[in-house]
Amino acid sequence: MVRILGLVVAVILLVVWLVLMPKERPTVHADIVTSNFALYDAVRHLMPPEIDVQMLLPAGQDMHSFEPTPDDFKRLTHVQLFVYTSYGLPVTLLDFVAQNEVAQLRMDSEIEWRQFDKHRHQHAHGDTGHVSQASIDPHYWLDVNNQRNSLIYIATMLQEKFPAYAPYIQEQKLDYLAELESLEEHIRNAFVQCEIESFVVSHDAFNYFAHAYGMSTHAIQGLSPQAQPDPATMEAVIEMVESERIATLFFESFVSDTVAQTIAAQTGCKVDMLHTLANIDAPVSEGQAQPTYSSLMRENVAKIAQARRCQ
Ligand SMILES: [Zn+2]
């Protein structure tokens, strides 16, 4: 009896520990913090390894539902530079950055922003507390040209801020620019001749990509990962999938694929995952290669080209 009781207590303690166990979060100290993965990848490449570069969001965290913790605020207070774009970030965080004189590099003016199609997305922006002025689409980095422009600007600013590293940054910038050029060529070659004009995603992140590389994209769910489309929207999506002969429905890595699966079951199409590059899907474990902007873009390109039946 005592042994059983002991076992029960042990199991209860284990469950309590599992429930209370904190999610893995970055440490409070960082030299440079960036607001999204595309900025992280650029800064990480430009700066030498001894500079500790971190993402604002913990790996696996969806940007649109991100709420900063006290540790996030603490980290920003001590950082040498916070590199960010404001669209899509929580207002509480931007207020904190403004009020606490955080060393910052705000990238907003360097980006060619696009607006969401107002008719399609009017219901999608009900999410609370995140900056979404004038229906600006925050996913600018999925157009390689925006990544290039932001890289050039960041490099110049980092050279000013860290003059000792200026030659290193210059070399790394040229290296990154060459990679972006090769990536762009790869993208253009992938979509020369395709049977299907558009691709369908659950999360509305791919407008920049579609616009830059000559295709169109339809989104099922808008921006909020929790959004559930109403029956009329579901019906419209199913009709569109059938009339445009869509073979694959994409969902993003942080979001439940339930809606995509439901539509797939009714239409007989496949379901697959795309990277939004706002963040990475999971912490990189030891021995595993760190995904890069370019590697994730190339994975997306291969999947979209296959879904559009490109040759
Ligand atoms: Zn997004």
User: In whole angstroms, what is the distance from residue 307 CA to residue 198 CA?
Assistant: 9
96 pLDDT higher than 90:
yes
Condensed to tens digits (0 to 9), the pLDDT of residues 15-65 reads 666 666 554 444 678 999 999 999 999 999 999 999 999 999 999 898 888
Q: What confidence score (pLDDT) does residue 112 get?
A: 94
How far is ligand 1, taken at its centre, from the CA of residue 206, in Å? 9
Tell me the three state secondary structure of residue 247: coil
111 and 250 in a single domain? The answer is no
215 and 147 in a single domain? The answer is no
Instruction: Give the mean pLDDT of 183-203.
Output: 95
How far is ligand 1, taken at its centre, from the CA of residue 216, in Å? 17
How far is ligand 1, taken at its centre, from the CA of residue 36, in Å? 10
196 and 147 in a single domain? The answer is no
139 and 256 in a single domain? The answer is no
Q: State pTM to two decimals.
A: 0.85
How far is ligand 1, taken at its centre, from the CA of residue 278, in Å? 6
Which range marks the domain in which residue 263 is found?
A: 190-307
CB contact set of 93 (below 8 Å; sequence gap of 6+): 56, 68, 72, 73, 76
Residue 273, CA distances (Å) to 85, 208, 217, 248 in order: 25, 18, 15, 10
How far is ligand 1, taken at its centre, from the CA of residue 260, in Å? 16
User: In whole angstroms, what is the distance from residue 311 CA to residue 309 CA?
Assistant: 7
Q: Which pLDDT band, with edges at 50, 70 and 90, does 305 fall under? A: very high
150 and 226 in a single domain? The answer is no
Condensed to tens digits (0 to 9), the pLDDT of residues 241-282 reads 888 889 899 988 777 778 888 888 989 999 999 999 999 988
How far is ligand 1, taken at its centre, from the CA of residue 114, in Å? 14
Q: What is the mean pLDDT of the chain?
A: 88
230 and 178 in a single domain? The answer is no
161 and 224 in a single domain? The answer is no
What secondary structure letter does DSSP report for 289? P
Specify if 61 maps to a domain.
yes
How far is ligand 1, taken at its centre, from the CA of residue 255, in Å? 10
Specify if 118 maps to a domain.
yes
User: In whole angstroms, what is the distance from residue 152 CA to residue 252 CA?
Assistant: 28
How far is ligand 1, taken at its centre, from the CA of residue 258, in Å? 17
How far is ligand 1, taken at its centre, from the CA of residue 2, in Å? 53
121 pLDDT higher than 50:
no
Domain count, the chain: 2
How far is ligand 1, taken at its centre, from the CA of residue 223, in Å? 6
How far is ligand 1, taken at its centre, from the CA of residue 16, in Å? 33
